[in-house]
Amino acid sequence: MEASGGSQTIQPIDVRLPRRAPELVRIPKTFLISPVFAATKQQGPRQVTVRLTVGDEVFEQRIQIGGFHPMDPDLKPPALDVRHARAIFSLLTFRTEYDDTRLIRFSFNELCQKYAQSNGGRYSRDIKRILRTLMDSYIRVTDVKTNIDYEYRLIERIDIERRPPRRRDSKLARSNQKEMWFNGCTLSPEFAEMLGRVAELQNLRIDVFNSLRSGLAQAIYLYIPSRAHYCTKDAPFEITLTNLLQQVSARVPKHKSKRFEVFTKNNNPVIKQLDGLPTLSGVFRVRLTETTDGLDWKLQSWEERAIKKPGSGWTKTKLYAAYLRSGRPPTYFHQAVSCIPSLDDYEIELLNLAGVPVEKNRRFFEAAKALLKTPLFRGLLHEAKGAEIEGRKATKNQAARLIHRIMEAIATPARHPPPTGIRGLDN
């Protein structure tokens, strides 16, 4: 990292996205703290090293996503890049958190709209190729300490039907071909298990990520904001353009001026696309400045924090106090409540059968669902329903009894899960 200084500074351009409700998707934290996905198409294998903190322990992993086949070491397919990240994150937005299944239901048109806001022919063909690559790709996670590899796929299968053409005047109607109906996909057991570990997940503004048109801008938005989170305008995170381009596996021009052009050329340059982007807690800011020795440019970045309204947080609630009694770090709590799921029809029906008013306590139940996860939360609702059907009297009322049981479950000590992809650490 170069020291600050230099003769010229490119002032940030104030570009903000239109106001709209943020759309979040939960993804493994490892995809955000290191440049796991390359900025450009790759020709072979590629791996990055990630330092992952779980509780009070720090684990170091090497991650190779794509670029190999576990059954044929001589096969060297290309590593995955941000196009594949965009497809994975887009399909995860259709995942129903309260539905404990690996199956994700959505149509191909819905995926195209989510990925590119279009289902035109070019996008359709590109996304089909990307999905085909994902089906044949594996991820390898290596524990640096033990040097043990753990390999698995992200997507196990794609649910496709082929039907006779609906339009009689279609060209397909005069041939033996059929229309392809894309119904969704099934995640691999390992990837689904990873998505169930709340402590290892983090939200991503998928609406912002998918709005970026430059692969380099997408790779930087995935990776750099985690570095700039605690930085300020006066003390920004800094990285030379040479190092940044190398880390995201983009082409590194030989000359300093050409590296500068990578970020500033065209009508909508990368520096303009990045500056002013919303993050989970504020606004991402970037600028370019020369290094002290004048041999390169560096990207400076920081986060302008959003001002929170007094009392808008959870830190003064009894729910938060109960969670702390379990011995888990506050970070896990804030991760869970940052993306609170809604109650589904089945859970509302269970509450009604249990004689518990829903609307009066909805915010509490939804937060409890986020903290406990769906299976345990529904188990408590079933107990409450059973108690009501059997006529068991509550000390105060049915709602108070259920809330007490939920608070007990949240306050129960729980062991921290091992980092994603490494087995045997919980023994």
136 in a structural domain = yes
- Residue span of the structural domain in which 184 resides: 24-199
pLDDT score for 5: 42
Which one of 181, 199, 217 terminates a domain? Answer: 199
| Inter-residue contact 138 to 66 (CB < 8 Å) | yes
The DSSP secondary structure of 106-170, one letter per residue, reads: --HHHHHHHHHS---HHHHHHHHHHHHHHHT-EEEEEETTTTEEEEEESEEEEEEEEE--S-TTS
425 in a structural domain = no
Provide mean pLDDT across the span 237-261: 96
Looking at every residue in the chain, the average pLDDT score rounds to 82
* 339 pLDDT higher than 80: no
385 in a structural domain = yes
pLDDT score for 113: 87
Higher pLDDT, 149 or 122: 149
| Inter-residue contact 334 to 370 (CB < 8 Å) | no
CA angle 151, 183, 24 (to 5 degrees): 70
Same domain for 328 and 186, yes or no, is no
Which one of 145, 171, 199 terminates a domain? Answer: 199
Q: Could you tell me the pLDDT band of residue 420, with boundaries at 50, 70 and 90?
A: very low
Higher pLDDT, 417 or 38: 38
Using alpha carbons, select from 42, 39, 78, 80 the residue that is nearest to residue 213: 39
Same domain for 42 and 190, yes or no, is yes
224 in a structural domain = no
pTM: 0.67
For the segment 174-227, what is each residue's pLDDT rounded down to a tens digit?
A: 555 666 677 888 999 999 888 877 677 888 999 999 999 999 999 999 999 999
Q: Bridge partners of 113?
A: none
Same domain for 167 and 29, yes or no, is yes
Neighbours of 398 (CB within 10 A): 19
* 333 pLDDT higher than 70: yes
39 in a structural domain = yes
164 in a structural domain = yes
302 in a structural domain = no
Burial code (b: 16+ CB inside 10 Å, e: under 16) for 33-67 equals bbbbbbbbebeeebbbebebebeeeebebebbbbb
pLDDT score for 242: 97
Number of domains in the chain: 2
Which one of 147, 182, 199 terminates a domain? Answer: 199
223 in a structural domain = no
Q: Bridge partners of 282?
A: 305
